[in-house]
Amino acid sequence: MAETETFPDVPPLTWSPELATGDARMDETHEEFVTQLAALRALPAEAQLEPYRALIAHTEAHFAREERWMVAVGFAEENCHAHHHREILDMMRAVERHYLDGDTGIIGRMAAALAEWFPMHAQTMDAGLAQHMRAVGFDSRTETLADPSRVRPATMTGCGSVHCS
């Protein structure tokens, strides 16, 4: 049975303007994530492992990139946004282990959970990071600051969102 049939209370996640952060590079990565997640959710459980592994690899690269940006714009390496990323990746990796141990429905449950989680993360933590990057003149394509003197290194420990200090 396809995952979307198993979890009808979790609607499909599709890319929309509401998910945009205002940073084109970040938004492209987010759209890729949403596309991969939707494709994964459309598969039956027995076909989900390899696409799920691809989603994990994409998410690892996605989070690593954002964390590089955070440090470049003045976040401490240990900040709540990066911590949140680690928690999500730890859960995603644990799901793969459980699937391999025989819980074949767990990838579908995790995919549904990610579809619920992602919009709020994008609209708060990531949008806040994108706003801060714009404010300090950081170019996410080149990963450079127009004026490095505008950023003090390792000063922010929050998530970059207006909802987190």
For residue 78, what pLDDT is reported?
Answer: 86
What confidence score (pLDDT) does residue 52 get? 98
Output the six-digit token pair for 83: 């911590």
Question: What is the chain's Cα-based Rg?
Answer: 17
CB atoms within 10 A of CB 33: 20
- The more confident residue out of 4 and 84 is 84
| pLDDT at res. 96 | 98
- Which residue, 6, 138, 140, 2, is CA-closest to 74? 138
Residue 162, both tokens: 């207006």
pTM to 2 decimal places: 0.87
pLDDT, one tens digit per residue, over 16-57 is 999 999 999 999 999 999 999 999 999 999 999 999 999 999
For residue 71, the enclosing domain spans: 3-150
With respect to residue 161, please indicate whether it lies within any of the assigned structural domains. no
Q: How far apart are CA 124 and CA 92, in angstroms?
A: 21
CA proximity to 95, closest of 111, 106, 108 = 106
Domain count across the chain? 1
Helix, coil or strand: residue 54:
helix
- Confidence (pLDDT) at 40: 97
Q: How many residues does the chain have?
A: 165
Q: What is the residue whose two structure tokens read 């074949």?
A: 104
In 3D space, the residue among 155, 36, 16, 163 whose CA is nearest the CA of residue 107 turns out to be: 36
13: in domain: yes
Query: Could you give the 3-state DSSP secondary structure of residue 121?
Result: helix
CATH number, domain at 35? 1.20.120.50
pLDDT in tens, 107-136: 999 999 999 999 999 999 999 999 999 999
Q: Is residue 54 part of a domain?
A: yes
The predicted-structure confidence for 61-115, as pLDDT tens digits, reads as follows: 999 999 999 999 999 888 999 999 999 999 999 999 999 999 999 999 999 999 9
pLDDT value of position 159? 54
